[in-house]
Chains A and B, each alone.
Chain A
Amino acid sequence: MEGRRRTRLTLVLVLATSLITAACSSDDGTTDSTSSTGSAEEGASLTVYSGREEEFVAPLFEQFEADTGIEVDVRYGDSAELAATIVEEGEGSPADVFFSQDAGSLGAVAEAGSFAPLGQEILDRVEERFRSPEGLWVGTSGRGRVAVYNTEALDASELSPSILDLADGRWQDRIGLPPTNSSFQAHVAAMMLTIGEEKTREWLEGLVANGVRFYEDNGATTRAVAAGEIDVGLVNHYYKYEVEAEDGSLPIQNHFFETGDPGSFVNTAGVGILAGAADAEAARTFVDYVTGEAGQAWVAEETWEYPVVPGLEPSVELLSIDRFVGPESQVDLSELGPALPAALQLLADVGMV
């Protein structure tokens, strides 16, 4: 009989724990969802789909709520997956605002026709290269591509001002990158737009011939550089600070490629308002906020990214954005989206994904 009793015990145990926790947690997550629909009379409320990480942007949303009195329901997810979600939802989307990590995801939503045009006043605040030419989305912070290198393994002077030189044979087994990561792929797409598919392919093939090592994402690549597994990693500029925030100071440094080089490229996080937004006014207030004084001051002071309105400098010592990409040499970010399938195909052709 012992066997059967234990079976029942297991079932009872599972059910009991679930009931108890159901009782305890009823005021935890579930009410969030119900209150979002029923709190309209209390004041304006807003649903934001955020591809930006909760660990970093949650304080910004709290600050926005405190400053404006507008209640925000934030739905976090991967930027590209949220873009796919918005496209599948179509007119049934509960989202008012899409706050994305990168221009590619914003472009996908724009192409599906799910964004409403933003006002010229908001667009004009941000440098032209960090906003959609059709006025459908606007950048909020810049994320530059750099080579992070191990300061114990090499001297800054050994790194060339051009990313193309990394295909040189002397970098055999010393370079790493995250081939499936969207920031890297957007960079490859940008390179295809500036130097053409053939030259980009040659460069990628050179890296592969050099035994380039692959990592899951920017963070893993940066950590591998810090551990001395590789000497140089192709990542976004702020990962050095992100990794150091958790691991203490490490023997890593950022190398910025020369202005005008295909290696110097800045992608942007950004926002757009959904065409079917239930509360377009609150949505506009949010976009106004993140591109305005308070939001950009937050970018400058609380993150390691580049503010996109002129006149503000990032919190850590970074190459100024004008000397980084130059005022002219940036590719049109809205062209990135259509170029991404070709970039993915190219990466597949050379065996990187």
Chain B
Amino acid sequence: MVVRSGTNVAQERRRGRPVPISLTAGALLVCGLVVLPIAYLLIRSAEATDQSWDLILRGRTAWLAIRTIGLAAAVTATAGAIGIACAWLATRTDLPFRRVWAVLYALPLVIPSYVGAFVLLAALGPRGSVQGWLEPFGVDRLPDIGGFPGTYLALTLFTYPYMYLIVGAAIRGLDPGLEETARTLGRSRVDVFRRVTIPLLRPAVAGGAMLIALYTLHDFGAVSLMRFPTFTQAIFLQYRAAFDRTPAAILSLMLVAIAIVIVAAEQRSRGRARRYRIGAGAGRTIPLVPLGRWRWAALVFSGAVVGLALALPVGVLTHLIVRGLSAGVPLNVTVGAAGNSIVVSAAGAAAALVLALPVSILVARYPGGWSHGFERVSYTGYALPGLVVGLAYVFFTANYAPAIYQSLPLVVAAYVVLFLPQTAEPLKSGLLQINPHVAEAGGTLGRGPGTVMRRVVLPLLARPAAAGAVLVFLTAMKELPATLLLRPTGFETLATRIWTSASAGLYSRAAVPALLIVLLSAIPLSALAGRLGVTELRGD
């Protein structure tokens, strides 16, 4: 039962084994999809003249890199800490209304960052609603939250649920026997947490941190509204203001390089330790940690997080709709757009799930140079702005595959490129918690690897698969730049409806589709997160 340093014998032994051809083929397909945008960027960078290199090198590229990486680090640290705290509160404590909180903690994930940033500005701006309430007390204006503070706040509030969901699922997947054994061996509760629980959760924490960091790299909504220059903002500016795709391509390649470093760091931190149980387990209820006096602090913390990240956006959106209605602005209810959003996002989720599976299995079961390479490449799309991936696919399909240009399958393919890690990460964590001997036992009973996969491994993966699919579904519901570029002409989603009205300055009309995204995404997410608050555990 040595957990921390135990070498994974099964994996060691497997290293010499041939990788099934189907896995390699699947992973190659994924890499192909992701490599297209990178190839496009290389083609465009190759057109660089001395002048554009001068622009890149003389310009503030190093300054941009420091700001981008600094923002990603700050957001990842804070959102990660909030997410882990929420995960622990929801799964292991006697926090009052724990099962309700378990759902509420996750819901800010459904708020698009451009909506969230807009709402924070409307509420906390120098002359925002909060200033209005404070006016009687002589507060004439509040300090500007634009720039770093606002960007940091918005991205932290709307990304911490990634950590919460992944770590929460990992805590629930833990074998309480491991911790109990350590306790019976005389270790204190703190000691057990430090020496047993944290190492067991390390892959989940690293995975959550990577998702948050990569999300921060590609976000455009919050950085543009809050006006904090990052690589992604600079890339958009090059396209929108200077009509110059060469510097944009070079900046995008730098973003890819940063992403590869982050993914590699996550791979290193994962290490080779074994994190599954060897013996048979028994179903039980895990004892909850009594919070005692700390329950009030925990309630205040939870209220503040959920209040800012969920209640405030929903409140402001509702206020905008009511104000618009009273001013006679016609409601902007778009049933068709809602249907389109759900269809294309669900298709994206399904495709990402199917394509993430080979990558995750390779990484979890056949670790090594090749599989880590696949993983690094397949994750880089997640760090690229949607505009770049969109234009890359415009270039390749309009010129070489006109039949699928501006079609729904193309939008779905772009979603796979943009969001694959969101489903690959939960799958990988899930696989790492399954004892490979379970599968080997199937093999010794005379079943082929395909049958074992279908009958043994996949059923055990149902939970992480659902989590991954829901994450992609939510993110696709919010996606705008790639959807705008690649959709069939006239195909509207809720996100494009928000954009249509907001770009015309009609915020009360934009609020209706925004609220619809929130409500429709909340349904599958609540089902997913609700499980985290359930106390009964059973042995696998």
Contact = CB atoms under 8 A, between A and B. Distances in A.
Chain A bound to chain B: yes
Interface of A: 1-4, 6-11, 13-15, 17-18, 21-22, 24-25, 28-30, 32-33, 36, 47, 53-56, 73-78, 80-81, 83-85, 87-94, 104-105, 107-108, 179-180, 182, 185, 213-216, 218-219, 224, 227-229, 239, 242-243, 246-248, 337, 340-341, 343-345, 348, 353
A353 B229 contact: yes
Given A6-B527, A242-B505, A28 B402 contact: no
Contacts of B531: 3, 6-7
Contact of B504 (A53, A83, A105): A53
B298 interface: no
Contacts of B470: 10, 14
Interface string B320-343: 000010010100000111111011
Contact of A28 (B329, B340, B387, B504): B340
Contact of A32 (B144, B491, B528): B491
27 contacts: A3-B538, A9-B527, A14-B524, A17-B523, A18-B342, A28-B335, A28-B340, A32-B489, A32-B490, A33-B406, A33-B489, A33-B490, A54-B504, A94-B398, A180-B227, A180-B240, A182-B240, A213-B144, A227-B127, A229-B126, A242-B504, A242-B505, A246-B329, A248-B327, A340-B241, A341-B242, A343-B241
A93 B336 CA distance: 27
Contacts of A353: 229, 237
A108 B238 CA distance: 13
A6 B336 CA distance: 29
Given A10-B528, A81-B485, 6 more contacts: A55-B500, A213-B144, A229-B141, A243-B505, A343-B241, A344-B242
B469 interface: yes
Contacts of A218: 505
Range of interface residues on B (Cβ < 8 Å): 35 or more
Contact of A80 (B59, B240, B462, B481): B240
Residue of A83, A84, A239 with highest tally of chain B CB at under 10 A: A84
A348 B59 contact: yes
A29 B126 CA distance: 41
Interface string B113-148: 000000000000111000000000000010010100
B408 A30 contact: yes
Nearest to B248: A84
Nearest to B141: A229
Contacts of A21: 338-340, 342-343
Most buried by B among A17, A104, A228: A17
Contacts of A104: 243
A2 B394 CA distance: 45
Nearest to A111: B243
Nearest to A180: B237
B143 to A, nearest CB: 12
B527 A2 contact: no
Contacts of A215: 227
A248 to B, nearest CB: 6
Interface string B49-74: 00000010001100000000000000
B113 to A, nearest CB: 13
B242 to A, nearest CB: 4
A212 to B, nearest CB: 12
A131 B415 CA distance: 40
B327 A77 contact: no
B391 interface: yes
Interface in B383-415: 387, 391, 394-395, 398-399, 402, 405-408
The 9 closest A-B pairs by CB, nearest first: A33-B488, A32-B490, A25-B339, A28-B336, A21-B339, A18-B346, A219-B505, A55-B504, A108-B243
Contacts of A105: 243
A29 B491 contact: yes
Contacts of A47: 489
Interface of B: 55, 59-60, 125-127, 141, 144, 146, 224-225, 227, 229, 233, 237-245, 324, 327, 329, 335-340, 342-343, 346-347, 349, 387, 391, 394-395, 398-399, 402, 405-408, 462-463, 465-466, 469-470, 473, 481, 484-485, 488-492, 496, 500-501, 503-509, 523-524, 527-528, 530-531, 534, 536, 538
Given A92-B402, A229-B125, A246-B508, A85 B500 contact: no
Contacts, number: 211
Contacts of B408: 30
Contacts of A75: 489-490
A335 B338 CA distance: 43
Contacts of B394: 85, 88-89
A101 B241 CA distance: 13
Contacts of B490: 29, 32-33, 36, 73-75
For chain B, what secondary structure do more than half of its interface residues adopt (helix, strand, loop), or is it mixed?
A: helix
Contacts of B469: 11, 14
Contact of B492 (A3, A29, A89, A108): A29
B127 A224 contact: yes
B274 to A, nearest CB: 24
B342 A7 contact: no
Nearest to B64: A348
Nearest to B392: A88
B399 A92 contact: yes
Contacts of A73: 489-490
Contacts of A107: 243
Given A3-B463, A3-B534, A30-B491, A216 B225 contact: yes
B488 A81 contact: no
B339 A22 contact: yes
B463 A29 contact: no
A118 B524 CA distance: 53
Given A21-B339, A28-B339, A88-B391, A14 B473 contact: yes
B462 A4 contact: yes
A329 to B, nearest CB: 24
Nearest to B63: A348
B489 A2 contact: no
Contacts of A33: 406-407, 488-491
A15 B340 contact: no
Contacts of A92: 398-399, 402, 405
B327 A29 contact: no
Query: Which of B125, B141, B225, B398 is most buried by chain A, counting CB atoms within 10 A of its CB?
Result: B398
A345 to B, nearest CB: 7
Given A21-B343, A213-B144, A85 B504 contact: no
A110 to B, nearest CB: 11
Contacts of A345: 55, 59
B239 A81 contact: yes
Contacts of A11: 462, 465-466, 469
A74 B489 CA distance: 7
A182 B336 CA distance: 32
B285 to A, nearest CB: 13
A14 B349 contact: yes
A228 B127 contact: yes
A84 to B, nearest CB: 5
A25 B488 contact: no
Contacts of B402: 92
Given A6-B527, A80-B243, A89 B500 contact: no
Contact of B485 (A3, A14, A85): A85
A109 to B, nearest CB: 9
B224 A94 contact: no
A67 to B, nearest CB: 21
A47 B60 CA distance: 40
B55 A341 contact: yes
A234 B506 CA distance: 20
Nearest to B464: A7
A180 B239 CA distance: 12
A42 B528 CA distance: 49
Contacts of B534: 2-3
A18 B485 CA distance: 23
Most interface-central of B55, B346, B538 (chain A CB within 10 A): B346
